[in-house]
Amino acid sequence: MLQLKDLPDAKILSKFAQRYPDADIECVIHFLTLLRVGSDLSSELDNFLAGYGLLQGRWWVLILLMREEDGVSTPSLLAEKAGVSRATMTGLIDGLAKEDLVRRVTNADDRRKQHIKLTLQGQEKLDEVMPEYYRRVADLMKVLSPSQGEDLSSMLTKLQNNSDVFK
C-alpha cells in the first residue's frame, strides 16, 4: 500500500481548492491525517509482528481462530470475518499450515468441507506475541485520558458508519 509521508498543508491544498471549488480544505486535512496515522500504525504493527515471524494477516487469522470456542472455523467464515477474499484466506492458511500454526481438518460428515484448527504451536505463538502487543497498545494509548479514548472511539465509529460515501 502506498503511504503518503508528506501530507499537504493548507497552502498546497488551497491550490487544489482553486481548481476544485467543492474541496473543503479543513476536511481534507483531517481525512489525510487520519489515513496517515492509520497507515503508520499498521506499518509499525507489521514491523512488530515481523519480530515474531508473523505478518499482520496471518496474525489476524490466528486471533480469529483463538476467538472460537474450540479454535476451529471454516476458511470462508475466516475470510468473511477478516474482510478478505477466499483466495487471500487460502494463501494465509497455507502459510500458517506450513509452519504448523494451523491445520486443515476434513469434516467427518462431508469430506468436501474443510475446517481450520489452531494448533498448539499456533496458540504458543499467540502466547508469545500477545503480552508484548498489549503492553505496546497500552503505551500508545496512554497519551489519551480515558475520556479522550472514549471520544476517539466514538468519533472513529461515526466516520466508519459514514464510510459508504466512497461506494
CATH of the domain at 122: 1.10.10.10
Q: What pLDDT is recorded for position 3? A: 65
- All residues at 6 or more sequence positions from 75 whose CB lies less than 8 Å from its CB, including other chains: 86, 89, 90, 93, 114, 116
pLDDT by residue for the chain (167 residues), tens only, comes to 556 677 887 788 888 888 898 888 889 889 989 999 999 999 999 999 999 999 999 999 999 999 999 999 999 999 999 999 999 999 999 999 999 999 999 877 777 788 999 999 999 999 999 999 999 999 999 999 999 999 999 999 999 999 999 99
Pairing of strands 72-73, 114-118: antiparallel
User: What's the 3-state SS for 101-117?
Assistant: CEEEEECCCCCCCEEEE
Q: What pLDDT is recorded for position 60? A: 97
Q: What pLDDT is recorded for position 2? A: 55
| Residues 46, 32 share a domain | yes
Q: What pLDDT is recorded for position 5? A: 73
DSSP state of 144: S
Within-domain flag for 160: no
Q: Quick one: 89 exposed, middle or buried, by C-beta within 10 A (0-12, 13-18, 19+)?
A: buried
The b-or-e profile of 125-157 (16+ CB within 10 A means b, else e) is: bbeebeeebeeeeeeeeeeeeeeeeeeeeeeee
What is the phi/psi pair of residue 105, to 5°? Answer: -125, 125
Domain that holds residue 32: 16-50
pTM listed for this prediction: 0.85
What span, in angstroms and rounded, lies between the C-alpha atoms of 141 and 143? 5
Within-domain flag for 6: no
Number of domains in the chain: 2
Q: What pLDDT is recorded for position 162? A: 96
Q: What pLDDT is recorded for position 109? A: 77
Within-domain flag for 148: no
129-133 contacts at long range (C-beta below 8 A, 24 or more positions apart): 129/49, 129/52, 129/54, 129/59, 132/48, 133/48
Within-domain flag for 69: yes
